[in-house]
């Protein structure tokens, strides 16, 4: 088992690496971090638990860094079995959206896109590729007048990247509300991540048994979520949340699905609401 998790020096990512190391003690599990010091500290913390992750430097905002990490895996192993694109930029309720949207989109959306492009060609037969998104990543979170931006049956990843850049421009210009975008920048970004998974799923060759999916870990107690929620009903620790994410990431070879879906607690969340756009106000 060769696996890699991005944004794994803390939060959910660290728990995912811990779980993979526990389940595959003979595997090579790469703990991806964008900062060498924070990555080493996280690796040491897991080594102190008797686990053996390998550090890898990977900044998902940087094309070259992502390509170099993929090259390292290719040189050492020739392929990979599990990739979890988990890294995400933090946003704060105290900072104007216009000041944080660009880095948010670049990390969460273009970062997932970079991971799909760099690691997609390295996936072994029956590999699993996950993008950690959220239950906000369905069209239900968006006014139907904007649904055409996420025409996942026809658009390319490049088209999607343009949609997300245009969205960031609208937020920066203070026009996003007028255009119908929601007031929180998280849902459009999560919809973009799920759309990327759906586009890659459409483009990839299913015959090799590879599964690509987006996953919602639920509400997880991390530094990223604390500023945003007051109702902590059902909140999970990172280790608790990792269980269902890792179930999806390690579905046995021969499993036919889910494929190209958003999955939460082992169930598919439909991307397009079943009642269709006509049921919503535009
Ligand atoms: N927490 C929740 O309730 C919740 C709910 C739904 C979905 N999610 C999703 O779950 C995932 C993990 O979230 P979390 O709560 O664990 O967040 P977190 O504690 O903020 O961890 C995010 C990780 O991403 C890393 N990161 C940020 N920018 C990066 C970059 N450019 N390149 C590489 N790594 C980068 C961070 O590294 P640094 O330490 O260097 O900043 C950190 O390790 C995210 O995709 C998030 O959207 C979380």
Specify the CATH class of 2-279 in words: alpha beta
Phi/psi at 108 (nearest 5 deg)?
-80, -40
213, pLDDT greater than 60: yes
Residues 234, 223: Cα–Cα separation, whole Å: 17
Give every strand in the sheet of 54-57, ordered side by side. 54-57, 28-33, 2-5, 80-85, 123-132, 211-216, 262-264, 267-269
CB 260 within 8 A of CB 272: no
pLDDT score, position 228: 81
Phi/psi at 236 (nearest 5 deg)?
-110, 150
232 lines ligand 1 (CB under 6 A): no
Residue having the nearest C-alpha atom to atom 20 of ligand 1:
224
In the chain, domain spans: 2-279
Counting every residue written for the chain, the total comes to 282
> What is the rounded average pLDDT for all residues in the chain?
95
pLDDT score, position 280: 43
Write out the DSSP string of 34-64.
SSHHHHHHHHHHHHTTT---EEEE--TT-HH
274, pLDDT greater than 80: no
Confidence of residue 277 (pLDDT cuts 50, 70, 90): low
Mean pLDDT of 70-94: 97
Say what percent of the chain tops pLDDT 70.
97
11 lines ligand 1 (CB under 6 A): yes
Residues 41, 87: Cα–Cα separation, whole Å: 17
Q: Hey, how many other C-beta atoms are within 10 angstroms of the C-beta on 232?
A: 10
169 lines ligand 1 (CB under 6 A): no
57 lines ligand 1 (CB under 6 A): no
Mean pLDDT of 95-100: 96
Residues 250, 204: Cα–Cα separation, whole Å: 19
Model confidence pLDDT, tens digit, residues 132-160: 999 999 999 999 999 999 999 999 999 99
Q: Which CA distances in Å does 70 have to 7, 38, 53?
A: 15, 20, 17
Residue having the nearest C-alpha atom to atom 6 of ligand 1:
134
């Amino acid at each position: 088992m060769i696996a890699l998790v991005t944004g794994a020096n803390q939060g959910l990512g660290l728990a995912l690496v811990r779980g993979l190391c526990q389940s595959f003690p003979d595997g090579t599990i790469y703990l991806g971090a964008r900062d060498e010091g924070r990555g080493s500290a996280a690796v040491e913390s897991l080594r102190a638990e008797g686990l053996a992750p390998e550090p890898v430097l990977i900044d998902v905002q940087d094309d070259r860094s992502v390509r170099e990490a993929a090259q390292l895996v290719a040189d050492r192993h020739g392929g990979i079995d599990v990739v979890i694109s988990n890294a995400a930029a933090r946003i704060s309720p105290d900072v104007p959206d216009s000041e944080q949207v660009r880095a948010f989109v670049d990390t969460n959306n273009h970062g997932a896109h970079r991971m799909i492009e760099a690691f997609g060609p390295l996936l072994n037969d029956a590999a699993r590729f996950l993008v950690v998104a959220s239950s906000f990543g369905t069209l239900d979170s968006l006014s139907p007048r904007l649904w055409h931006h996420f025409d996942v049956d026809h658009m390319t990843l490049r088209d999607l990247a343009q949609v997300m850049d245009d969205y960031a421009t609208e937020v920066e210009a203070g026009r996003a509300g007028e255009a119908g975008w929601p007031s929180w920048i998280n849902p459009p970004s999560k919809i973009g991540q799920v759309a990327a998974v759906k586009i890659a799923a459409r483009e990839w060759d299913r015959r090799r048994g590879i599964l690509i999916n987006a996953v919602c870990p639920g509400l997880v107690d991390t530094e990223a979520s604390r500023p945003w929620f007051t109702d902590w009903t059902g909140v999970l620790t990172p280790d608790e949340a990792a269980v269902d994410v890792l179930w999806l990431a390690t579905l046995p070879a021969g499993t036919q699905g889910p494929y190209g879906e958003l999955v939460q607690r082992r169930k598919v969340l439909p991307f397009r609401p079943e009642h269709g756009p006509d049921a919503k106000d535009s």
